[in-house]
Amino acid sequence: MNLTRLYRTVYRDRQRFEHVSWWLLFRCLPMALLLTLSLLLLSAASVRAEPGASAEPGSGQLLLTDRKGQLHSAVTQRSRVDLSISGMVAVVRLKQVFRNATEEWVEGVYAFPLPDRSAVRFMEMQLGERRIVGEIREREAARASYQSARKAGKKASLVEQQRPNLFTTRVANVAPGEEVSVELEYVQPVDYRDGQFSLRLPTTITPRYVPGVSGEAKRSLTVMPAHGWAVPTDEVPDAAAISPLQHAQPGSAAQPHNPLEVFIELDAGMPLAGVEAPYHHTVLSRSGEVYSLRLAGGETEMNRDFVLHWRPVAASAPAGALFVEQVDGQYYGLLMLVPPALTPASAAPPRELVFVIDTSGSMGGVSIRQARASLARSLQFLRAEDHFNIIEFNSDYRKLFRRAQPATTHNLQLAAEFTRHLDAHGGTEMLPVLRAALTPGTDVDELHPQPSLRQVVFITDGAVGNEEALFAEIVERLGATRLFTVGIGSAPNSWFMRKAADYGRGSYTHIGDAAEVDLTMSALFRHLASPLAMDIEVSWPGSAEAWPQFTPDLYAGEPLLQLVKLGPQLPGVPLTINGRLGMSDWQTSLQWPASEGSATTEDHPGVASLWARKKIEELLAQKHLGEDAKTLRDKVLPVALRHQLLSPYTSFVAVEEVVARPSAAALDSRPVPNSRPLGQSSQPYAYPRTATTARANVWLGSLLLFVAILLHALRQEDKYA
């Protein structure tokens, strides 16, 4: 009897325990599944991976290749910029100094950003007591020469263009304890818009997302080994060459990881109302009409673009100017012309505005907050007669409305709520959303017919590696739509942003700080609503070669910039410009520098290099109009060689004939991180949607194992019920 009672008690306790256990299991199951799925999505949404030591360099760092072919970073000791501005032309000397603190011989690989319109025309490497001056050769020949010197133990260097704003330098056979100086000279045009001059110096690179299907890149025998964290894809075959290491946290103000010194001499040629560097503390002095500027603390971290603004006094604001340089008996000219402001006779017609906002992982931190603020401010400019839509994108895209809707109070409230909840995550799959934004809606709405004027405002940091595919998409689908780009963050991909706006017949605007949102977006919407200066023609002499060949339509406050090769002598008659402002004809003229009363009488070094750089850019753009690759190469190569410029088909190479490294000495390396763009949150790198990782497989396997155990337990319960 006692045994029966004991058995019943044990059995009852066991049942109670099993019921409690199952109750707890099913109560916790939803949370467990949710947590597991969340971790799975975090691991595989854009599928991410941490870059190891084998990686292509980030901006401002020297990577050292060891005998196993692995790349590691070494300390950047200091960087210095000496910048001379004369009128609309800036000549820049960029010096980066490195030191091999190891006890091994090394090969250095150095990646760095430059302005997207820069013309790189000189390179010099100083290794210890030796100075090596680079010369321009065809890209394949330069690579072969460098490889041969590297293998033989000779001092050698190679500088290549990966993108118009991303370059790579390789230095072979750096001795233990040896200091290396890399010095480049380039020329860039000054920007002028809304009565303000500006110049931008990039110092770091935002890691670029690489879309497409993974595959092996096609290589020739002389291609350098590529060790970037990104794998080559069908859309970005050179992914490994443009994928920088993960950026580390910046150093302190007293001890930056990558210190930068800046020295500027500004001769604007006119009285100035103000000079400022909005993102850095500077010291300004003046001697006559020449302004000198340097960093207040002596040096700063290379974690954000250096930007300089200067504004002329109202009475001396230029309406037009001609800048001329003579090189090898040939005259080259730069025309800057600002059409007069025109007040519209009536309000702008109803518009359809499509706002595209980037919410990918590279926008994390300050950038997504700036993007949300820009979009919220843009909504305030919409009128009742306008239609609008919002599309956010990362690894996929999502529309606020199925098609553009009227800017009613209710719809604007929905848009404001949509904007407030935008967050940054995932990859930058830009091609699908660009296609969706440029394709007008086909649905018929008899109550609310769509406006004929359609404008797309694209808000992004441009951190993509498939720029050429995106440009081709814009050219194919643009139609009557106009594309305006808004660059966000401390280090946007300005080349992509500017060229996308050029192909989209719009304009490019940059916002580097949240305090600029209101002013910048207000200016942009003035442009969107302003009448254009159209059908502009410049009366160049018949033998002149001007680039761009077709002058674009101009929005309010934008200048016409054209570069020209004039020949052995300057024209004897004034330069005449004709066009239309709104519904009226317009004409003006400028005197040449050699003429009495001319706009300027000084020679401006760098104009010839800018002309050649612009010609190369315009020739390469013909690729999207159907020009074949061989024809483009045959057109571009002679220009780059004649003017000694870096290009996709030319590289700088320097080789010292003396053997420096003993044949028995091996190569080795030591790692040091680089600074992350200011304000950007820490992020792993995003691979294409077609990729996968071990981390994703582990979480997926764990989830399936959990489900299998649960099903097995339920079947056992049914068996003994």
Per residue in 192-235, pLDDT (tens digit) is 988 899 999 998 888 888 888 876 544 443 445 455 667 788 88
List phi, psi (to 5°) of 499. Answer: -70, -35
The answer, yes or no, to whether residue 694 has pLDDT greater than 90, is no
pLDDT at position 672: 36
Closest C-alpha to 362, from 295, 425, 311, 421 = 425
pLDDT at position 350: 87
Residues 303-328 have a mean pLDDT of 88
Higher pLDDT among residues 598 and 239, named by residue: 239
Judged by average pLDDT, the poorest of 123-127, 328-332, 675-679 is: 675-679
Closest C-alpha to 650, from 144, 164, 142, 120 = 142
Angle between helices 467-477 and 494-503 (to 10 degrees): 20
Distance (Å, rounded) from C-alpha 282 to C-alpha 296? 4
Distance (Å, rounded) from C-alpha 270 to C-alpha 311? 10
> Which secondary-structure segment (H or E) carries 390?
strand 387-393
pLDDT at position 208: 83
- Three-state secondary structure of 413-479: HHHHHHHHCCCCCCCCCHHHHHHHHHCCCCCCCCCCCCCCEEEEEEEECCCECCHHHHHHHHHHHCC
Q: What percent of the chain has pLDDT over 70?
A: 74
pLDDT band at 659, cuts 50/70/90?
A: confident
Distance (Å) of CA 512 to CA 211, 277, 301, 367, 368 = 26, 12, 16, 9, 12
Higher pLDDT among residues 302 and 669, named by residue: 302
pLDDT digits (tens, 9 = 90+) for 600-646: 445 789 999 999 999 999 999 998 888 899 999 999 999 999 999 99
Judged by average pLDDT, the poorest of 332-346, 419-433, 541-555 is: 332-346
pLDDT at position 443: 58
pLDDT at position 610: 97
The answer, yes or no, to whether residue 689 has pLDDT greater than 70, is no
Q: Spell out the residues 6+ positions from residue 110 whose beta carbon is closer than 8 angstroms to its own.
A: 57, 61, 62, 63, 96, 98, 168, 169, 170, 171, 182
The answer, yes or no, to whether residue 87 has pLDDT greater than 80, is yes
List phi, psi (to 5°) of 582. Answer: 65, -120
The answer, yes or no, to whether residue 593 has pLDDT greater than 90, is no
Q: Does the bond joining 207 to the residue before it have cis omega, within 30 degrees of 0?
A: no
Facing residues of 193 across strands?
196
Facing residues of 310 across strands?
197, 275
Please answer whether residues 59 and 111 qualify as being in contact, where contact means their C-beta atoms are separated by less than 8 angstroms: yes
pLDDT at position 301: 87
User: Going by DSSP bridges, is the β-strand pair 71-74/61-65 parallel, antiparallel, or unpaired?
Assistant: antiparallel
pLDDT at position 43: 45
pLDDT digits (tens, 9 = 90+) for 48-74: 333 333 334 445 556 655 455 555 555
Residues 487-498 have a mean pLDDT of 90
Place of tokens 């079947």: 715
Q: Spell out the residues 6+ positions from residue 24 whose beta carbon is closer than 8 angstroms to its own.
A: none
Burial class (CB within 10 angstroms; exposed 0-12, middle 13-18, buried 19+) of 554? buried
pLDDT digits (tens, 9 = 90+) for 702-711: 666 666 666 6
The answer, yes or no, to whether residue 143 has pLDDT greater than 90, is yes
Closest C-alpha to 667, from 66, 16, 9, 36 = 66
Distance (Å, rounded) from C-alpha 672 to C-alpha 253? 18
Angle between helices 629-642 and 607-621 (to 10 degrees): 180
pLDDT at position 713: 58
pLDDT at position 594: 63
The answer, yes or no, to whether residue 693 has pLDDT greater than 90, is no
pLDDT at position 597: 44
Q: What is the overall mean pLDDT for the chain?
A: 80
**Strands of 540-628, DSSP E:** 545-547, 560-567, 575-581, 584-590
pTM metric for this prediction: 0.81
pLDDT at position 333: 95
